[in-house]
Amino acid sequence: MQSFTDLSEDVTKCVRCPRLIAYCREAAITKKRMYLTDDYWGKPVPGFGDPCASILIVGLAPAAHGANRTGRMFTGDGIDGMGASDFLAAALYRTGYANKPISRHREDGFKLSDVFVTSITRCAPPGNKPLRSEIDNCANFLHIDLDLLERLRIVIPVGKLAFEQMLKVLEERGAIIPKPRPKFGHGAIVNFSEGFPRLLASYHPSRQNTQTGRLTPDMLDSIFQIARGDVHLS
């Protein structure tokens, strides 16, 4: 059976999606003005966190100048504290799952407890819009994440695409999807039969959501409080 180290190496070496590989490399060359002196990662980004986690957070994809630059999921997509990485890190810190409230670069000492973070697409996509075929190409990595997380009990997909992909992946693993098929919504819970983790959906902590008030700190905190069991999970 693979280890997380093996999986990280396989993810990093993956070249299944030429369009995405080209975009990651291009972003690493052209860079963003505020990061001109940074050495960009510029390749697929593996998941990170606690290998014994009971909670898995699943995002859409690395940001071109966030995780594609830093090489760590939900890390470094803003220096003003308002990017998705810091918004998520702050919530994880407030609810006891992280040791500090910011996530800026791979060597910043940010650590997760009982949480692992990954995404449905491991490369930054143009316009933050991966193709269906590109999402499917990464599905095997999600299956391996699920295999390795032996204590997993809750999956938190952030955003509609991540929610729908997790339903698809769990169905491929033998889970019976409730009827009518569950719809995405913040706080939506999907229960499966024994042996499968629950889904607990959240809005994505993107600037589009956080700066418009669609997702507030209290709303994101509530997701992790539910996951911990501080709020009833039915």
How many structural domains are present in the chain? 1
The answer to the question of residue 23 being in a domain is yes
Residue 115 domain-assigned? Answer: yes
The CA–CA distances, whole Å, from 38 to 23, 172, 201 equal 17, 40, 34
- Mind giving me the DSSP string for 38-53? S----S----EE-TT-
Is 224 domain-assigned? Answer: yes
> Rounded to whole angstroms, what are the CA distances from 104 to 72, 100, 139, 154?
9, 11, 27, 26
Whether residue 59 lies inside any domain: the answer is yes
pTM: 0.95
Q: What span, in angstroms and rounded, lies between the C-alpha atoms of 67 and 220? A: 21
Say which CATH number the domain at 116 has.
Answer: 3.40.470.10
Contact 92, 98 (CB under 8 A): yes
Whether 234 maps to a domain, the answer reads no
93 close to 218: Cβ distance less than 8 angstroms: no
Q: Is residue 143 part of a domain?
A: yes
Cα separation of 90 and 105, whole Å? Answer: 15
Using the structure block, give the residue that is written with the tokens 């952030």. Answer: 158
**In this predicted structure, what is the pLDDT of residue 2?**
82
Instruction: Identify the H or E element spanning 189.
Output: strand 189-190
**10 Å Cβ neighbour count for 13?**
9
The answer to whether position 233 is within a domain reads no
In a domain, 99, yes or no: yes
Query: Who's near 16: CB < 8 A, 6+ residues apart?
Result: 137, 138
- pLDDT by residue, tens only, the chain of 234 residues: 689 999 999 999 999 999 999 999 999 999 999 999 999 999 999 999 999 999 999 999 999 999 999 999 999 986 655 689 999 999 999 999 999 999 999 999 999 999 999 999 999 999 999 999 999 999 999 999 999 999 999 999 999 999 999 999 999 999 999 999 999 999 999 999 999 999 999 999 999 999 999 999 999 999 999 999 865 554
CA angle 208–56–60, rounded 5-degree value:
35
pLDDT at residue number 77: 82
What pLDDT is attached to residue 174? 97
Q: Can you give the pLDDT at residue 172?
A: 97
What token pair was written down for 35?
């990061």
Range of the domain at 193: 4-228
Q: pLDDT for 1-42, tens place per residue? A: 689 999 999 999 999 999 999 999 999 999 999 999 999 999
